[in-house]
Amino acid sequence: MLATTATFFELVRDRLSQVEARMRAGSGKHHPNTDAAIEHLLASGGKRIRPTLALLAGEMLGAETERTVTLAASIEMLHTATLVHDDLIDGSLLRRGLPTLNAQWTPGATVLTGDYIFARAAQLAAQTGSLRLMELFAQTLMTIVNGEITQLFRSRRGDLRQSYYQSIYAKTASLFELAGEAAALLGTSAEDSIRPMKDFGYQVGMAFQIVDDVLDFAGNQEQVGKPLASDLRQGLVTLPTVHYLEMHPEDPDLVRLLEDAHLDSQALDRLIASIRSSGAIERSLEEAGRYAAAAEADLATMPDCRETEGLRQLARYTVQRST
C-alpha cells in the first residue's frame, strides 16, 4: 500500500509544494496571531488528498499549472477553515495529533481565524479567473455549512441510512466533487469530460468519508490523530452503526443511544465492542470499495496518461488507507 500512495503523491510533488507556498502567501501582512494560527494549521500537515486530486485532474485535462495550483490551494484552505470551525463546534481538542485552535484560544478568536481562512480560500478561487468555478466554490461552502447545521439540529426520525449518506455528501463528498469538477473545467470546456470528473470526486469523497468513519471505530489512535470512537461518544450515527442497527435492532444500548438517553462509559464501550465484532466494519468497507470502483469507472473515457493512472491509484488509496 505504501508504494501505491507514494506513486500518485509523487506525481504532483513539485506542484504540491507550490500549493503550500500559495497557502502561506500573504502572511506577514496581518495580525501576527492570525499568521501564527495559519502557520500552526499548515505545519500540522494533513494528507493533502483534495489538492492532489485537483492537481491530477487538472493536469490530466491540460489545465495551466498556475491556475490548477491556485485552485488546489483554494480547496485546501476551504478544507482547513471548515476544520477550524468544526473542531470548535464539536469541542474537539486534538487533530493531526496536535492541539486544535479552540483548545488554545477563545471561541471568538477561533471563529474569526476560521472566517479569515474562508476569505483567503475565496480569494484564491477568484484568482483562477473563472466565474463558474467561483460559483461552484460558493455552492460547495453552502452545502458544507448546511450539512453542519443539519447535524446540529439532527433528528433521529426517518431513515438513518439516508441521512447518513446526505450528511457525508455535505461534509466531505461535496468538496471532493468540487476538486474534480473545478479542476476539469480549468482544462476543458467539454461537458462530457467535466461531468465524469465531478462524479469521480463525488465517488471518491463518499468512499473517503466511509473509511474515515470506519477508522474512527477500528483504526489506530496514533495514526488517526484523534481519539477513537469519538463519533459514537458524541451520539453521531455513522455507517458501521447503521449496519449494526440493521443486524441487531434490539440491542438495548443502541436503542437507548438512539433515544438520546445518556449512556455511561461502560455501556458505550460495550456497544463499541459489539459493533466492532459484528461484521459491520467489513460491510462498511465493502460499500466504500463499491464507491471507489465507481470512481475508477469514471476514468474510462479519460486520456491514457500518468495522471489518469495516478487518479486510479488515488481512488484505491481512499479505501486502503489507515490514516
47 binds, among ligand IPE, Mg ion, none (CB under 5 to 8 A by kind): ligand IPE
Piece of the chain touching ligand IPE by CB under 6 A; list 89-97, 185-193, 268-276, 283-291: 89-97
304 alpha carbon, distance to own chain's centre: 27
For the chain, the straight-line distance linking the first and the last C-alpha, in angstroms and rounded, comes to: 12
Q: DSSP readout, 154-178?
A: --S-S-HHHHHHHHHIIIIIHHHHH
Q: Please pick, from the candidates 27, 40, 42, 90, the single residue that binds Mg ion as defined by CB under 5 A.
A: 90
Q: Which is nearer to ligand IPE, 47 or 233 (CB)?
A: 47
Q: Please pick, from the candidates 90, 199, 269, 309, the single residue that binds ligand IPE as defined by CB under 6 A.
A: 90
CA-to-CA distance for 149 and 166, rounded, in angstroms? Answer: 13
181 binds, among ligand IPE, Mg ion, none (CB under 5 to 8 A by kind): none
CA distances for 48 relative to 33, 133, 246, 289, angstroms = 24, 20, 35, 21
Shortest Cβ distance from residue 302 to Mg ion (Å)? 33
- 144 lies in the site for ligand IPE, by CB under 6 A: yes
- 166 lies in the site for ligand IPE, by CB under 6 A: no
Cβ atoms of residues 141 and 120 within 8 Å? no
Cβ atoms of residues 298 and 200 within 8 Å? yes
Site string for Mg ion, 59-88 (x = CB under 5 A): ---------------------------x--
Q: Please pick, from the candidates 59, 177, 181, 212, the single residue that binds ligand IPE as defined by CB under 6 A.
A: 212
Residue whose beta carbon is closest to Mg ion: 90
Eight-class DSSP state of 299: G
- 231 lies in the site for Mg ion, by CB under 5 A: no
Which residue's entry shows cell 500540522?
44
Task: Pull the grid cell for residue 239.
Answer: 455507517
- 172 lies in the site for ligand IPE, by CB under 6 A: yes
CA-to-CA distance for 9 and 49, rounded, in angstroms? Answer: 9
Q: Which positions lie near Mg ion, rule CB under 5 A? A: 86, 90
The residues binding ligand IPE (CB under 6 A) are 46-47, 49, 82, 86, 90, 92, 96, 144, 148, 171-172, 209, 212
